[in-house]
Structure formats: C-alpha cells, structure tokens
Structure 1
C-alpha cells in the first residue's frame, strides 16, 4: 500500500484535528462542549484525546485494526477514559483510504468514498482482533454481550463481517456494512460546503441530521430504545425549527434542549461521532483545503 504524500498526510491530520475541535467548540445538544461540560467529562479531555489519537490513526502503512488499538491506547494514556472510541472506529478506515492516493492525485468525496470501500473490503481477522482489544479497553457504556462475535471473546471473522453483525443496532458498525454511505451521503448533504465561516453550523447540522434520522446507538445502549426514539423525534423538530430560523451557529432553543438532555444523563454520543467523521471529510475535501 502506498503511503499518502507528506503534504496530503499533513492536510488530513489538520482536518481531523479541526473536526475534533469543532466537536466541542460547537454546542451540540446532550454532548460535552466548551460551553457546557457533562457526563463527568470536559472539553479539554476531548481535545487532548484527539491530539494523541491522531498519532495512532495516521501511522503510515498501518492496518486499520492497528490504528484503532494504537489510538485507543494513546487516548487512555492521555486522559484515562473513553472519549473517542466511535471517532477512532470511523476515522481509521478513512485515514487508511487516504494512503491509497498518490502525491499528484486529486481528492474529492467521491474518490475518497470509493477508496474507503476498498479498505473495508480488505479488512481481515487480525484487524478484528486488534479492534476487539481496543473496544474492550475503551469499554463503552452499555456495551453488554452480543449474541454473535462478542467483543470479550476472540473473533473468528473479519472486522467488517463482525461489524455487519452489529449493523442493525449500532450506527458506527453500519458504516462498515454500507461502505460509510451515511457519512458520504446524509452527513455531507447536511454539512454542505464547509468554510471557516460555516464550519460550526456544518457540525451542528450534521449532528442534528444524524440524530433526527436514526435513534442514537449510545442512547439505546444506555437508556433504551424508547428514550432514543423520543430524542430522535425531538431532534427532527428542533432541526426543522433551527433551519427555518436561519441555521444560526448559536440557538437559545438548542441550548435549553442541551441542558435538559444533560440533566437526564442523555448523551447522543454516536451522532456526535458520525458528525466528526463527516466534518473530517468535509474539511478535507473543501475547495479551501485543496
């Protein structure tokens, strides 16, 4: 596998770190942000996690599973808790896919998407073993035991095959099944063309789009399907009102909803992870980053 060119790798790392910072700079309902800590975590932990995880994710030539495990280990060494497992699981194939581009090749969303699909097709059982170790280390809330290929037992299938078994109950696993179709489809559609003037609105819109379309997997695991479905209905209502009001970067209505979700211990973490991956792609493929 050819390594990404140095300029490309540098731009990609910058885009990833910016997407992670936007995750906490943007006040997204129920999520930890600079403006509103929550769930016993702070924005500083998320920012530190991104910086250290990037070293694992952007290791030249590394397999997807190795990137995942390295990034999760580095995160725990830095902050001592799980702040970014979902982001890492999504970013690792995207980072590996970038290494399939040559130094003089242009990168747009369509070509990156196709490269990511090829990376997913090449995943093997060693990727699964390493990713399972990372997931067990992160120990995400409400993980429980899956009926097939549980993460606390050695996998017997490839990482993509294992993710496909969980795709009906986990939106991150679904990306491994559908070739990141939600990131390159609904996510980018919501984010639109991303510039420094619009990037916070793009992050918020992508987040709300995911939350309004699918019950958040993290909420399902922690509070159950009924609560997750009610949050999805609320998200659709809030997003429609927010967009009708002009898609402002700050919204008192959304801020109040944020406080209410946190008071109930509800964290739409999977929707945030999907939004970070979307902004990584949007920033990297923006004409301003060419």
Structure 2
C-alpha cells in the first residue's frame, strides 16, 4: 500500500500544470511526464522495501531510477519520501508527523553514506562542493546532522532539520484549504505547488542560477498565485500554463517546490493507511 501510495502521489503531481516544471500539459528541461511515471514505478519497491533502512531506501530508489530512465528525475522526491515511508511502515502510532520525527532522530552514519552515494549517482544540477559534510567524501556524521548543515541552502535539508514542517504544516494546510473550496485533485495540487513556490526561494533555482533569480521567481509566483486563487478552473490553468511557458523559456525549473508537493500528496495518502492500521489493531 505504501508503494502504491508513492506511485499515486508521483502521478497525481503530473496532473497539475505546475509552472516551470514537467507535467502532462507540457514537457520541459529535456524531460517528459512519462519519464517521471517510469521513475516512480521503478523507485517504489525500494521506497517501500520491508525492513530497509532510510539510507537503503534512498540509494535503492535512485539506482532503480537510473536503470529505468538514465537521468535524475526524482532525487528530491526520494529524499523526502523515504523517511515518510519508513515512518509509515514501522509506525508505533497513527500520527505520521510524530512518527517521521522519530525516524529522523534515529538516522545514523550508514544512512548518510547511502544518501551521499545516491546524491553522487543522481548528480543534481548545481551540486558543487559543500564546506561541511560534502557528499563526494565519506560520511562522518548522521544523515540528520548532514541535512542540518545543508538546511540553510537547501529546502529538502531544511525538512530533515525541522521535522518536515513544510510538509505537515504549510503544504498540508494548502491541500486542505483547496479541498474546502471544492477544488478537484489537480487544482488542489497546483495550489500546493504555488504555495511553496510563493513562500520561499526554490532551492533548485537558487543552486543552479543563484538566490537573486530564485527570489524573483518567488515574487512572480506570489502574484500569479493570487490571480489563480479565486479563478475558475479553466482560467486558473490557463494562467498557470502562461507562467509555465515564461519560466521554461528562461530554462527555470522550480524542482524543489515540485518535490515538496509530491511529499505532501504522499503523506496525505499514507496517513489514512496509518490511522486505519492502528484503529483495526
């Protein structure tokens, strides 16, 4: 069920016209929706592998993705979803946020080494060298501590350092608000994505092009999100696709915002599984 929830979250994210990112409405950055579907299906058994460590889930999923599509389509998604899956599979309670915090606190050096190997394998754009806990070297600390060191420059590292606060707070709130307003799944996904893109500079943009551009895109996203918020569905999608073309013309991909969106959808799918398992004993 966790593997199926992972694939479903990855596929659902592609149904929304996420500006600057890949989706069913338009390819981008040398990738198409089919690459992400193939990646999700290849990675899912490793994300949900019984008894695996978080690090093993990450490395196995990245290696399977490369065998399937030969490029980095989902490193951020994997880094976010592996701890969530681990929490769900080994949960002692029905609160996914609390269980995820427990998993993060238990990460060790072996998890860090596996994650370092996965990141080197994926070789994301703008990776460069880090002043502390560089992934090209041997891990000297836990994965949690390595992510805490990366947190000031990377929003995925920030999630590890702050108990996945954006997933269980900002993102979940946006999803629930969209549902209260009667939005369908694709429109709700777009709302979550734009919430992240407007809330803080996208790490992927900042890593590749610098903080100034990431902040400029954040400001653009805030304006477009305001236009989209109360627009009818077709109009909202038209505004989003115009923004999508503008970003892709500049070769700008808010990849971290998309990764966070998948994690929100995955957590949302896994939480009821957790609650049902504990309710039924």
Interval of TM-score (by shorter of Structure 1 and Structure 2): over 0.9
Q: Deviations over 1:63-92 (max 9, x none)?
A: 000000000000000000000000000000
Select which of 139, 163, 172 maps to 1:188. Answer: 172
Q: Distance in 2 between matches of 1:38 and 1:174?
A: 27
Q: Distance in 2 between matches of 1:115 and 1:249?
A: 40
Select which of 194, 202, 207 maps to 1:216. Answer: 202
Aligned to 2:5: 15
- Alpha carbons of structure 1 residues 99 and 260: separation in structure 2 relative to 1, 3 Å: same
Q: Does 1:64 align with 2:35?
A: no
**TM superposition score normalised by structure 2:** 0.92
Select which of 39, 54, 78 maps to 2:29. Answer: 39
Q: 1:1-290 maps to which residues of 2 (within 5 A)? A: 10=1, 12-101=2-91, 107=94, 111-192=95-176, 198-246=184-232, 250-285=236-271
* Contact 1:201/1:248 (<8 A) preserved: no
Aligned length: 273
* Contact 2:17/2:237 (<8 A) preserved: no
Q: CA deviation at 1:285?
A: 3.4
Q: CA deviation at 1:15?
A: 2.0
Q: CA deviation at 1:200?
A: 1.0
Q: Distance in 2 between matches of 1:43 and 1:157?
A: 36
Q: Secondary structure at the match of 1:101?
A: coil
Q: Deviations over 1:213-238 (max 9, x none)?
A: 11000000111111100000011111
- Alpha carbons of structure 1 residues 240 and 123: separation in structure 2 relative to 1, 3 Å: same
Query: What stretches of structure 1 of length at least 5 have no aligned partner?
Result: 1-9
- Alpha carbons of structure 1 residues 249 and 96: separation in structure 2 relative to 1, 3 Å: farther
* Contact 1:200/1:249 (<8 A) preserved: no
Q: Secondary structure at the match of 1:123?
A: coil
Q: Deviations over 1:84-110 (max 9, x none)?
A: 0000000000000012236xx6x4xxx
* Contact 1:202/1:279 (<8 A) preserved: no
Q: CA deviation at 1:36?
A: 0.4
Structural RMSD (CA) = 2.0
**TM superposition score normalised by structure 1:** 0.90
| Between 66-75 and 17-26, the greater mean CA deviation after superposition | 17-26
* Contact 1:242/1:248 (<8 A) preserved: no
Q: Distance in 1 between matches of 2:4 and 2:49?
A: 14
Q: Secondary structure at the match of 1:49?
A: helix
